[in-house]
Amino acid sequence: MHKTTLLTGLLLTLGLGTAVQARQTTVLDLPVVQVKDTTKVLVDSVEFIPVETDELIQDRLSCLEQEIPLEFNKQVRGLIDYFTIRNRKYTRRVLERKPLYFPMFEQYLAKHGMPDELKYLAVVESALLPKAVSSAKAVGLWQFMTPTANDFRLVQNHYLDERMDPEKSTEAACKFLKQLYRMFGSWEMALAAYNCGPGNVRKAITRSGGKKTFWEIYPYLPKETRAYVPSFTALVYALNHAEDHNLYPAKVQMPIAVDTLLISQPLDLKLLAKQLNLPEDHIVNLNPALKLKHIPENVSNFPLRIPADVRPFLADNRMAILDSARYVAPYRAPARTKLPALQEVPATILAKAEPALPDSSTKSFYHVRPNDNLSKIAKEQNVTVEQLKAWNKIKGNMLVANQKLVLFKPESSVSGANSKEAAKTETTLLASAEDLGTPAGKHAGPDAEGMPKENAASVAVTSKKAPAKKPEAPKLQTVHHVQPGDTLWNISKRYNNVSVEQLRKANKLKGDELKPGMKLIVG
């Protein structure tokens, strides 16, 4: 894991990753006057900024040192001056947040039997901002990258990122740091590995000829990591001796007592805060791991943090409050899908989508008369507008007088056909719906006549010769070939004597879905 923390990235930008002489430090480029070489006075702000000697700082560090070495050198001195002189605003803001997070850090470090001073690492990483995101996409108080967060089971999904959960990320950071300490046997080396990854530390050890301490492998580490451990030491000093450098927080953020509410419904956190008479973003701020300002649907038993002092009021009015704060997703109109005109369909698809011609049909022609239109002609000729367009390759709806249109009709419906001619020609019968798709002629013979009429569909069966006795002409049924854009409703309107329910029943349809090329019995 090699990540750029918010602080070390800034230090590198300012060129503070290497040695900086204490006496050369300026204060935000404002004019200064020297007073007995012990303090500097900002002329513009009249702020007293002590400048301590190396000996005094070294003595203070030795008093602070516990389990983790706090070595003093020119790199550390330069960074101490940065936090106490050049960027006092940064240090003040950290001092404001320190009471909010340090007690919790101390509890987790004690639980894992780790050095208390590791709590200052979160300052190096994120300046104690739970929603901090670095340029390398490290997130949270402890700046976890996604792969490392996954290793320690920090959940990341569309609404939740537990890298921003103060307690869960602190637990994961303790486990990770303990793992690194076992790997390298030194807290300074563990800190370096936390920043640049164990692999880069091992490479630095190899390049150094097998050295085992941070300062021995210092020249072989990535540039950012060289500033990382000195920054840690400098912040331990600056935050413990802030008052000695005239640094005080403008306002202190104190932790509040919280309770947990298990939520299994969509919930708007701003509305909930309003119902509980809290500031609008109060509950949002108590739950920084939530990426949204609401809990979405299909979430079960989400532990929502709320102020402990509102729990009694919530307990008495729970159902009413949660119902009033229910999250309702904003309405989004469904996307409209433009159906392509018949002419826009590719030829390979068009061949399949075109209505099939009747198995036995007669081609005829119709000459367009003045005031004719496609709907009128289709109704007169007992065909559909879509069929007329397909047969005649008509793009729009415009017709021209005397235009010749091609029509195809079942031979049995051609006017003037007598019973003898009908007997000599093939007679179209309808097989049962169970036999849709079976080859024509499968049921040819005496059994074909016994097929139930109510189950009729459009599979053609042919009789080659009429019997000597004139047979009773089979009752023909009207069949509609489904076109792109057809629905049961508009088909029912086209054939006045049939309803949508009748169409479903006659064709054994369970739903309303139609596909181009389907054959429907419509009468």
Instruction: Calculate the alpha carbon distances from 3 to 79, 138, 194, 268, 403 in Å.
Output: 20, 7, 9, 34, 76
Cα four-point dihedral sign 416, 419, 420, 425:
positive
What would the 3-class secondary structure string for 347-380 be? HHHHHHHCCCCCCCEEEEEEECCCCCCHHHHHHH
Q: Give the pLDDT confidence score for residue 253 in this predicted structure.
A: 95
Domains of the chain and CATH, by start:
6-245 (1.10.530.10), 258-324 (no CATH)
Token couple for 144: 């976890």
Give residue 81's identity as a one-letter amino acid code: D
The full DSSP string for 232-247 is HHHHHHHHHSTGGGT-
**Quick one: residue 137, left, alpha or beta (phi over 0 = left, psi -120 to 50 = alpha)?**
left
Report yes or no: 276 and 306 within 8 Å, Cβ to Cβ: yes
Residue 29, phi-psi category: left (phi > 0), alpha (psi -120 to 50), beta (remainder): left
Give CA–CA dist 181/443, Å, rounded.
84
Q: 450-453: long-range contacts at Cβ-Cβ below 8 A with a sequence spacing of 24 or more?
A: none
Please report, in angstroms and rounded to a whole number, the separation of the first and last CA atoms in the chain. 73
**Which candidate in 47, 55, 96, 125 is catalytic?**
125
Using a 10 angstrom Cβ sphere, with 0-12 exposed, 13-18 middle and 19 or more buried, the burial of residue 504 is: middle
Residue 193: what pLDDT? 97
Determine contact, residues 343/363, Cβ cutoff 8 Å: no
User: What six digits make up the tokens of 264?
Assistant: 């299994």
**Chain centroid to CA 180: how far?**
33
Burial class (CB in 10 A: 0-12, 13-18, 19+), 219: exposed
The model's pLDDT over 292-333, given as tens digits with 9 standing for 90+, comes to 999 999 899 999 999 999 999 999 889 999 999 999 877 666
Residue numbers of the chain with a pLDDT score lower than 50: 13-39, 41-44, 342, 345, 347-354, 414-466, 474
CB atoms within 10 A of CB 175: 16
pLDDT tens per residue across span 157-179: 999 999 999 999 999 999 999 99
DSSP string, 430-481: --BGGGTTPPTTTT-SGGGGGS-GGGB-S-----SS--SS-PPPPPP--EEE
| CA gap 130, 168 in Å, rounded | 11
Tell me how far apart the alpha carbons of residues 261 and 143 are, in angstroms, rounded to a whole number.
27
pLDDT at 371: 81
DSSP string, 32-71: EEEETTTEEEETTT--EEE---HHHHHHHHHHH-SSS---
CB of 266 closer than 8 Å to CB of 296 = yes
Q: Quote the pLDDT of residue 302.
A: 96
Q: What is the pLDDT of residue 45?
A: 56
Q: Are 92 and 248 in contact (CB under 8 A)?
A: yes
Residue 400, classed as helix, strand or coil, is coil
The one-letter amino acid code at 269 reads: L
**In Å, what is the CA distance from 340 to each residue of 35, 71, 481?**
85, 75, 18
Q: Which residue has the tokens 């507008």?
A: 385
Q: Is residue 125 annotated as a catalytic residue, yes or no?
A: yes
Q: Which two tokens stand for residue 250?
A: 């403008």
CB 258, CB 305: distance < 8 Å: yes
Tokens 């532990």, residue?
A: 303
pTM to 2 decimal places: 0.59
Q: What is the pLDDT of residue 166?
A: 98
Q: Which two tokens stand for residue 28?
A: 């935000």
Task: Please enumerate in sequence order all residues whose Cβ is within 8 A of that of 439, keeping only pairs 6 or more positions apart, or say none.
Answer: none
